Structure 1
Amino acid sequence: MTTGWRALAEGLVTVRAAPGSGPAALRTSLCVLLPLALLLLTDSLALAGYAVFGAFAAVYGGARPSAGRWRVQAVAGVVLSAAVATGALAAAGGSPGLLLVLVGVLWALAAGWLSDRLGWVPPGPMFAVFAATTAASVPAGAIAGVPAGAPQVLAAAGSVTAVAAVSVLLGVLEVRRRGVRAPAPARAPSSGPRERRAHAVRVATAVALAGALAVPVAERTGTSHPSWAMVAAVVPLAVPRLAAQLSRGLLRVAGTVVGLAVAAGLLAADLPPVAIVAVVVALQAATELLVVRHYGLAMVAITPLALLLGQLAAPQPVGSLLLARLLETVLGVAVGAAVAVLSAPGVRARLRRG
């Protein structure tokens, strides 16, 4: 077996250590539980599809407490809130296909460059693209009790910003309770300006291609989630080296297939709202415990988590929803993998010679 194929195979089966993942899973689960419980009590659970993106601020800066981690999380919270707000604006503006792709591309460029510039951990623009395109996929007037237009945009922006603030606060409280365990927040390896621009362009290209292909697929299947393909296209490009990129893409697809079986059972159970909140919190904890250890296993939790939250905001027929998730994931991963292969240094050199 060649070195490249061996590295690809190892990426598929290796389970890594994840020190500090337990407290991180508890913190991020609280970041999800508190706002969902409040939305449940106020009969506003349909806003959960916006609000939960604020909880993702808690995953930035590494699992170990450090004195400056809150700053990283605050910047991430601002980015995620802005991404949801722009996505909601795009949904209110109509022409969802065109605006959806445009919003995804812009956030791929901006958050991709910012992630490389600041050395975000986890790296890449996936959460920002996910937040923006998901918000852009929610039709105007689809949120029960929230009028279309400015009220829906304000509700989206307000809910995600409030949750992001809570996530940062919980991170600060964790540092004070446990003490500083690391001298500085975790950082990804830095890169030069040229490399940052090139990486941002690669990610934006993958998002644009995936979106352009997924919009017609979404129209044929009767769903409104081409955002899933755009997010999946980012996944392979979030890690360096071609073997790791390809294994990450394969794990995304394999984990999604298993996760869809879990999601089918949960959606068929027609759970009451309080049970949905409990399941979502449990899935969030499982995601944080697994995502560093094995990305494919984490996708088994991420897939039903995303579908449950999506159904709260804009319910759709379960069968077409599951099919769309599978098709768009495969499409997005294929696009991201193709961009990864064509932009690999060795492939580029052979193309120039040929």
Structure 2
Amino acid sequence: MLGRVGAAVGEVARASVEVGPHAGAHRVALRAGVSVLVPLAVLVLAGRVDLTPYAAFGAMTSLYGRHHGHVDRSGMQLGAATAFTATVGLGVLAAALPGQHAWLVVLVGALVAGAGQVLADALAWHPPGSTFLVFAFCVCASIPGLGLLDVPLALAVSALSAAFSLLVGHVGVLRDRTGYRVPTLPAMSVRTALGTPARRRWVAVVLGCALVGGSACLLVRFEHPYWGIVAAVAALGGADHRTRLVRAVHRAVGTVLGVLVAWPLLAAHPRGLAAVAVVCVTQIGAELFIGRNYALALLFITPLALMISQLAHEQPVGPLLLDRVGSTAVGAGVSLVAVVALLAARRTPS
């Protein structure tokens, strides 16, 4: 038994330092960078920095279908754009509710994680899973001072930003000699996504890890318990349990290193177009490495996420960074324990 555990640990350790091939990542990174740069810059120049988080989440539409042709990619992005816009609206609606609602954010965030997993499976999204949807909901739901009148404005900004991402994704049409085809939404098959006991169990695992990760962070009084939800869901985004173990390790280690990168950037307190530049550069860096080594990508993902959080609601840098490390460690740890338990159950004779 110990030998088998040691071999598994060694395999995960080796996989954690592997760097995959480039595989045209620069094209994806360029699309993502342009998609986020233009909407955020327009809002900053218009004096509406408060709306930039909604635009940033709409721009995440550009991250979907990186390995697909432009028509299939655009079809996948149509589904993602719709989901992001709805999730942003749900988050702002939650923020507009009166009173303290940290537990509501955790509960609904976990439900978004489970529902997003079903949606991602039904529409065959790439990247898979519900990480970005959870992030979008939780950040928007945690912005203070919002009211019900902010909901339609947030929906409009997110939808317009997502539409711009779709336009950027269509640039490939200009060099496609096979002729233009109108993209369509992929056929949704919730029955397929939940069609087997294994798929239903996995959705329950995602929802449960999100709920436990967020609740644990809330109980130990972390200021951003939703980071525990995001970390838990992100670690479960791999195609198999081995990949999920690697992602959990990457998430924890990469976040610590990413915080060291974020520290001087946030300590400089970038404003306006300087903040937009940080978001754009880190988005490009994340896309250059996300398919090659998740820990390296987190050197960019961490400052990117923190910068978006600061745009939404600026906070003291030191406590923010410590909270990021602690919440991420809890969320990634929850998923790591869950995956190890699933592996042990699979290998235990009945």
What is the TM-score of this pair, normalised by structure 2?
Answer: 0.89
The amino acid of 1:100's aligned partner reads V
Secondary structure in structure 1 of the residue aligned to 2:149:
helix
Give the stretch that moved more between structures: 328-337 or 157-166: 157-166
Q: Does 1:204 align with 2:194?
A: no
Mapped to 1, the partners of 2:204 and 2:43 lie a distance apart of: 38
In structure 1, the partner of 2:147 is 149
Q: Choose from 38, 43, 48 the match for 2:42.
A: 38
Deviations 1:243-285 (Å, cap 9, x if unpaired)?
2211111111111111111111011112232211112111111
In structure 2, the partner of 1:47 is 51
Mapped to 1, the partners of 2:194 and 2:53 lie a distance apart of: 36
Q: Does 1:104 align with 2:140?
A: no
CA change 1:129–1:179 in 2 (3 A) is farther
- 1:191 CA displacement: 6.8
Mapped to 1, the partners of 2:322 and 2:29 lie a distance apart of: 30
The answer (yes or no) to whether the contact 2:209–2:229 under 8 Å persists in 1 is yes
In structure 2, the partner of 1:58 is 62
In structure 2, the partner of 1:215 is 218
Misfit runs of 4+, over 6 Å? none
Give the stretch that moved more between structures: 46-55 or 199-208: 46-55
Gaps of 5+ in 2: 187-191
In structure 1, the partner of 2:195 is 193
- 1:10 CA displacement: 2.5
Mapped to 1, the partners of 2:154 and 2:24 lie a distance apart of: 32
CA change 1:288–1:179 in 2 (3 A) is farther
In structure 1, the partner of 2:128 is 123
Q: Does 1:322 align with 2:321?
A: yes
Deviations 1:139-169 (Å, cap 9, x if unpaired)?
2x1xxxxxx3122222322221111111112
The amino acid of 1:87's aligned partner reads G
In structure 1, the partner of 2:189 is none
Q: Superposed, which structure 2 residues align to 1:157-306 within 5 Å? A: 157-177=155-175, 193-194=195-196, 195-217=198-220, 220-221=221-222, 223=223, 225-306=224-305
CA change 1:12–1:42 in 2 (3 A) is same
In structure 2, the partner of 1:19 is 23
- 1:294 CA displacement: 0.7
- 1:5 CA displacement: 2.9
Mapped to 2, the partners of 1:214 and 1:60 lie a distance apart of: 30
- Number of equivalent positions: 336
- 1:126 CA displacement: 0.8
Q: Choose from 77, 80, 84 the match for 2:84.
A: 80
Mapped to 1, the partners of 2:162 and 2:155 lie a distance apart of: 11
- 1:63 CA displacement: 3.4
Secondary structure in structure 1 of the residue aligned to 2:236:
helix
Mapped to 1, the partners of 2:177 and 2:345 lie a distance apart of: 47
In structure 2, the partner of 1:144 is none
Deviations 1:60-93 (Å, cap 9, x if unpaired)?
1223433222111000111111111111111111
- 1:241 CA displacement: 2.9
In structure 2, the partner of 1:145 is none
Mapped to 1, the partners of 2:311 and 2:64 lie a distance apart of: 26
Gaps of 5+ in 1: 142-147
| Aligned-residue RMSD, C-alpha | 2.4
The answer (yes or no) to whether the contact 1:249–1:333 under 8 Å persists in 2 is yes
CA change 1:342–1:97 in 2 (3 A) is same
Give the stretch that moved more between structures: 249-258 or 91-100: 91-100
Mapped to 2, the partners of 1:336 and 1:18 lie a distance apart of: 28
Give the stretch that moved more between structures: 102-111 or 82-91: 102-111
CA change 1:133–1:192 in 2 (3 A) is closer
CA change 1:314–1:191 in 2 (3 A) is closer
Secondary structure in structure 2 of the residue aligned to 1:167:
helix
Secondary structure in structure 2 of the residue aligned to 1:67:
helix
Give the stretch that moved more between structures: 314-323 or 101-110: 101-110
Q: Does 1:9 align with 2:8?
A: no
Give the stretch that moved more between structures: 46-55 or 294-303: 46-55
CA change 1:288–1:7 in 2 (3 A) is same
Identical residues among aligned pairs (%): 38
